[in-house]
Amino acid sequence: MGNGYATWFLSPLNLLIDLFCYKNKRIYTLEDFQEESRKEIEGIISVFDTRKEEIIAQVDNAFESGRRGMLVYRWFGKQQNKTIDEFNKPLKYIQTIAISVFDGKESTSFHFGPLRLTLRLLYNLTPVESDDIFIECGHTKHYWHKNPLFIFDDTLMHRSVNNNDARRYCVFMDVIRPSPVTVFLSVLLVPISMIAQPIKGAFYKNWKMLGANRETQGATTKS
């Protein structure tokens, strides 16, 4: 049941969103995005690659122990942590920028998100040559050591698995879905942005949420 309630109530809106977007591919690649959106995504990923050691150290300092943590830089357009200058600039397509960390031998249960306005983008910063570290989405099992990037429709049933002993660090982004009317989707995201912070705790209760240089409450009901 969990976050399924929200998805059920939002299903009419999700169907409306489908009408204004290109066909839902469920699993996406960078080539599925418009050029401007793709460049914005590649720019943020390049920052994570360039400043990887600094960002991982920042996560470890804020999250010394625990099962799952998430350091949030932006949450649906709202800045949470301003320590990385490149993440503070105006962005047209990317709504959320964060980095999630799983402790060794940590996994989520199968779960799904409530809204199709955005796609979930994950990028493994420390891929390890192991089939024990993966994300499973629908009928697709994606191994990070084969491709560190995975983009998908968050309303699909999915789970993340880290059966390795070491921590797993993944960039976590929400990006507006490919659409011929991006401006319309951006307008629909305005009220979401306004309530995103208060409802974050309802969806991320099993996570230690970090932002604005101090801990904030959070975590998902089914993650």
Domain range for 88 is 4-213
Residue 173 included in any domain: yes
Residue 140 included in any domain: yes
pLDDT band at 198 (very low <50, low <70, confident <90, very high): low
Among 63-67, 83-87, 117-121, 141-145, the least confident range: 63-67
Distance CA 120, CA 174 (A): 5
Higher pLDDT, 107 or 8: 107
pTM of the model: 0.89
pLDDT digit string, tens, across residues 23-32: 999 999 999 9
Residue 222 included in any domain: no
Coil, helix or strand at residue 221: coil
Residue 198 included in any domain: yes
Structural domains in the chain (count): 1
Domain of 32, CATH number, reads 2.60.120.330
Q: What is the mean pLDDT of the chain?
A: 88
Residue 109 included in any domain: yes
* 220, pLDDT greater than 70: no
Distance CA 57, CA 70 (A): 13
98's CB contacts (< 8 A; 6+ apart) are 70, 71, 72, 73, 74, 75, 171, 172, 173
Residue 150 included in any domain: yes
Residue 33 included in any domain: yes
